[in-house]
Amino acid sequence: MFSPTEAIEKITPVRLREWKALLLETSAVASVAGYVKNLSAVLRWAVEQEWLAKNPLKGIARGSFVNDDKNRTISMAEYIKLLEACPNQEWRTIIALARIGGLRCPSELQQLRWKDIDWSGNRFLVHSPKTEHHEGKHERVVPLFAELQMELKRHFSDNGNEFVIQGLQGTAWNLHEPFQKIARKAGVGTIERPFDTLRTTRSHEVLERWGSAKENLWLGHSEAVRRKHYKGELSDESFAEAADVSFSNEENTC
């Protein structure tokens, strides 16, 4: 629609509205919002350089960065189908750590070691690169939920491996395409942002069952919420209770 050599003064509000409408025919709303935001910054700079008298994008809404069409949850029934479609136990463990443990993937998954698993204490330690710049948020302790503990025990072997997901160490950790292959085989279709979706689904479950304070502690969210609701550490009983939980409806049993 625009030529690379086109004079900047020919970029008019009318043409920009046409450009945005054309993008919306082929791109997601959130993606178009990003394009508009970036272009707006460029055109503001052009105004500062006095190449333009005013920003032709002014008054044209960029739209939402949230694409609700891609929002979904992954039910426990779908989770079980995903596990059954996995090519090996390592992939079952990856999906369990994301869907039941609520780990960020791949960043938190990459660093998880067998020494971080406290079997007798019904918990495991998660190292979090994303939040390590916040005081006291470089790591968190998560319960060994029953469904997760089952997959970890199946995956564990006394062969000297340091990392829980040993097979991907030293690789690019390209999880998206292998996951989509598993999802298609499981019959659940393509899942946009699959690991965010797995984690978010678990976040909602924990919030509903155990409340916001534990959801923040176990999923690694706001420190302000933790301070407000929990002055000290969680008791051993809290982790034991979470580790013994079995979901009530029949479709959720493995």
Hey, where are the domains in the chain? Answer: 8-69, 76-252
| Confidence class for position 241, pLDDT limits 50, 70, 90 | confident
Which residue, among 17, 18, 21, 41, has the nearest Cα to 29 in the 3D structure? 21
Note the pLDDT of residue 240: 81
Nearest to 213 by CA among 197, 196, 194, 234: 234
Tell me what pLDDT residue 132 has. 55
CB within 8 Å of 46: residues ≥ 6 apart: 8, 52, 55
Structure confidence at residue 17 (pLDDT): 84
State yes or no: pLDDT of 205 exceeds 80: yes
Which amino acid type is present at position 77?
A
Domain spanning 76-252, CATH class: mainly alpha
pLDDT band at residue 227 using 50, 70 and 90 as cut-offs: low
Query: How many angstroms separate the CA atoms of 107 and 89, rounded?
Result: 20
pLDDT band at 37 (very low <50, low <70, confident <90, very high): confident
Q: Is the pLDDT of residue 242 over 70?
A: yes
